[in-house]
Chain A
Amino acid sequence: MAQLNFVQAITHTLDFEMARDPRVVLLGEDVGKRGGVFLASQGLFDRYGPDRVIDTPLSEAAIVGAAVGMAAHGLRPVAEVQFSDYIYPGFDQLVSQAAKLRYRSGGQFFAPMVVRLPAGGGVKGGHHHSQNPETHFVHTPGLKVVYPSSPADAKGLLTTAIRDDDPVVFMEPKRLYRAFKEEVPDGEYAVPLGQARVRLEGDDVVLISYGGSVAETLMAAGALSEQGVSAHVLDLRSLLPWDKGAVLEAVARVGRVVLVSEAPKTAGFVSEIAATISEEILDTLLAPPARVTGFDTPYPYAQDRAYLPGVNRILRAVQGVLNY
């Protein structure tokens, strides 16, 4: 066990998987000698050389698209796009090529690849360094989408993503990259996709979140605890597939749920969860599901923190469902 922060856990996992499997290669802008703009691949160029840690031209279409072909030809590429905000030039490659290759070829070709996307706000990055585009990916059959919130989960889920036979969009909450350290297993450690993690047991209200917002959600749960309210906190960890069983079980037991996500509200991923809850366990609910999300605006610069679903907004929503 080692104490690692989030980005160190990513580096450690890339190193571990590259040592284990010679098919694993990294590609992206500045991933080589620079070690990536967030230093996620620091030291790996020296260890594995330019054939396995590939600095690419400044082209997301080339990065994502080349990863598709590498994967189809037998490699296990891990592509880095510097900010999730810059995926759009490579979006067609994700949607039209990566996501549909297995399907359109009847399973003859497939793309076991990972696209790492530093995402989310809280870093004073304005709208082109802060967005949460996960809904685009979750709405694309053929992709898997992962958005962990802690260093240990980052290792466990990235390991699984790299070994998965389908394309995985691996989102990383960059404001948590160096926010805290935790124990990360040294050796083999894989967390299955589609399994939520119970971050806190509780009986009065279920708080569901993922990615960067898990941090604020846990802070809100701590504040609730001081008020004598026991919150059950679920960290979804992966969005496609998502852990319907854990969500429905917890919400049916408790009857009240607040869904927290920093993506824009309209048609955001948590809306899908709210719809599923309404469809399947409406009769167990004591209050309508509540959403606490980012706003339906471009991500702002000056109001960086106001945009995020912070502790106060979460607490207000909890009061709403408790007093319904």
Chain B
Amino acid sequence: MIQETHLFKPFDKPLSLVTDAGVWNAPFELDLPDETLLNMYRDLVLSRLLDEQLGKLQRLGKTSFVAPNAGHEGAHVGVAYALRAGFDWLFPYYRDHGLVLALGVPLREVFGQTLATRADPNKGRQMPAHPGSGALNVFTAASPIASHLPPAVGAALSMKLRGTGQVAVATFGEGATSEGDFHAAMNFAGVQGAPIVFVCENNGYAISVALRKQSGSETIAAKAYAYGMPGYTVDGMDALACYYVMQDAVAHAREGRGPVLVELLVYRYGAHSSADDDSAYRPREEVAAWRRRDPLGRFRRFLEARGLWEEVQERGLRDELGRTLSAALAEAEAAGSVPTEWLFDDVYAEVPDTLLEQRESL
């Protein structure tokens, strides 16, 4: 769709399809059914409410760590809806709860991971904000920045060599583009024409370090050029722009035309994590200005303009999602904490004698 319009080229100003006022402003017709639009909005709101809920859990001392997602929801939903859930592979990073939720990872598992209960299919092995799902091909997140990018290229190569028709999508922040692994991955993907979409959720800050101290490049997307792949800069607060660009990028990769780099300009409303205080490095006016461009508000105004949404539905949705969140949290808590003995499982396919001995000494 976007390819056909030829509107969207590398180095263009960030692509936006819906104005801040919620008006569809694209040179092509919207082709998503109302039901999909309503589901997208539901996922946007769910992610925001989850974020608030996780913050509360952290303040209550029920979890050790939270990486706020608020401000990234439009990017998350746009990316998720462009993928074939459970078929394509997602290589997420630590600020992707909204993305994995929209892809179908159950809330129960997200809470299970946050609380390290048996509801976590990853068995409570990592600190919160590191989701993963074997069932949905969500490659369990790892903390070392950009270290998941070379593996994502490897998986994409396997897809290509075996002709599976799958696509790998890897997400990361703009700070990750400074790591050697980013270069190694982009370079190898470019050489091999691997079916992968690199998605940079550029929120302008790597903890406290601003983009201008991270890269001398005008945009992150510009880096694609040197690796022989298309690069796009998108208004990441516009869920539909994210969706349509990702849809094209994923199609590009799936059709065997090689990798794509997509830069989604978002903003992190909260601090980097529950262990960070962003007031030391970000002016409050800047945060407020970005909040006025909120992806939820824009999408709501868009739905309202199309006659698909009213205040009464908003209240109903928030009530319903609140109940859904409470139920999933209760379920995750009821699953019970991860047993101490699990400490020794999954180091290897089989527990070796040395670990059996060490388990005895617990």
Contact = CB atoms under 8 A, between A and B. Distances in A.
Q: Is the pairing of A and B real?
A: yes
Contacts of B154: 65-73, 77
Contacts of B11: none
B184 interface: yes
A62 B183 CA distance: 9
A106 B144 contact: no
B349 A166 contact: yes
Interface in A31-67: 51-52, 54, 56-57, 59, 61-62, 64-67
Contact of B151 (A59, A72, A75): A72
Interface stretch (A8-16, A88-96, A169-177): A88-96
B348 A100 contact: no
A28 to B, nearest CB: 12
Interface residues of B, number: 48
The range of chain A's interface size is 35 or more
Contacts of A102: 346-349
B161 A105 contact: no
A256 B151 CA distance: 47
A56 B153 CA distance: 12
Contacts of A97: 142, 147-148, 150-151
Contacts of A122: none
Interface stretch (B27-35, B73-81, B126-134, B266-274): B126-134
B345 interface: yes
Given A57-B187, A75-B158, A108 B347 contact: no
A104 interface: yes
Contacts of A74: 158, 162
Contacts of A69: 150-158, 168
Contacts of A65: 147, 149-151, 153-154, 181, 184-185
A244 B348 CA distance: 18
Contacts of A104: 122, 125-126, 130, 132, 140, 142
A72 B157 CA distance: 12
B191 interface: yes
B184 A61 contact: yes
Contacts of A89: 180, 184
B24 interface: no
A141 interface: yes
B352 A64 contact: no
Contact of A70 (B125, B157, B187): B157
A93 B123 CA distance: 22
Contacts of A164: 349
A71 B144 CA distance: 20
Nearest to B132: A105
Nearest to B134: A108
A77 B162 CA distance: 13
Contacts of B150: 61-62, 64-66, 68-69, 93, 97
A295 interface: no
Contacts, number: 150
B191 A106 contact: no
Contact of A109 (B132, B168, B180): B132
A103 interface: yes
Interface in B134-179: 134, 139-140, 142, 144, 147-159, 161-162, 168
B121 interface: yes
Contact of B185 (A62, A70, A73, A106): A62
A196 interface: no
A288 interface: no
B126 to A, nearest CB: 5
A108 B158 contact: no
A187 interface: no
B89 interface: yes
A228 interface: no
A144 B349 CA distance: 11
B161 A25 contact: yes
Contacts of A96: 142, 144, 147
A105 B348 contact: no
A241 B191 contact: no
Nearest to B192: A54
B354 interface: yes
Interface of A: 25, 51-52, 54, 56-57, 59, 61-62, 64-75, 77, 89, 92-93, 96-97, 100-110, 141-142, 144, 164-166, 194, 241, 244
Report the 9 A-B pairs with minimum CB-CB distance, sorted nearest first.
A65-B150, A69-B154, A108-B134, A106-B123, A66-B154, A69-B151, A69-B155, A105-B140, A73-B158
Given A65-B154, A100-B142, A144-B348, 10 more contacts: A65-B181, A69-B158, A69-B168, A73-B155, A92-B144, A96-B144, A97-B142, A104-B122, A105-B121, A108-B134
